[in-house]
Amino acid sequence: MITKLLGRLSPPPVVAERARPWRLQSQGYVAFLGGFAAVTTIALMNADRLDVSKRGRALIAGAGLLGLVLDVLILDVVMIWGTGMDLGVHTMLSILLVLTVHIVQMGVQRPYDRKILLLSRGPDHAPMWLAGAAAILVCGSVEHFMLTAIRG
């Protein structure tokens, strides 16, 4: 009888609440400033927050990896074959490529984001300041050193 009474008085089990997702458009800043590795890391973390399917997460990772490989190939064409293209042109092509990868990754995440308003702010989306800055500093630095090592 006491256990029945205690069972009635005990609080219901707490269901873990998912972390709020980041705004999809904000990931573009990470792409522009941090590169392929940084934006792919943030997109995969946000995909977890949005509960994106495994296939969608694989597409996000694949787009980031493909973009990085294409960027290295463009750098090889510029440096090895001496096409007359300077590093400023490579940087511009790299930024265009990383923004294209971001658009693909954003397209994968978009159906899972219930609050898809442009520049949506408020309680529906979490701030991305710390995670974005960390991704830019860590992943962007690693990518930069890798490309510098390839460039020689």
Spans of all domains in the chain: 23-113+126-151
The residue-averaged pLDDT of 12-24 equals 71
pLDDT for residue 114: 74
Backbone φ and ψ for 101, nearest 5 degrees, come out as -60, -40
Mean model confidence pLDDT for the chain? 82
Contact predicate 128/42, CB 8 Å:
yes
CA 110 to chain CA centroid, nearest Å = 13
CA distance 69 to 37: 11
pLDDT for residue 152: 67
For residue 75, give both structure tokens: 């750098």
Tens-place pLDDT, residues 89-120 = 778 888 999 999 999 999 999 998 876 655 55
For residue 66, give both structure tokens: 């493909």
State the CB neighbour count (10 A cutoff) for residue 20: 13
Choose between 81 and 135: higher pLDDT. 135
Specify burial of residue 15 (Cβ count, 10 A radius: 0-12, 13-18, 19+): exposed
Contact predicate 65/106, CB 8 Å:
no
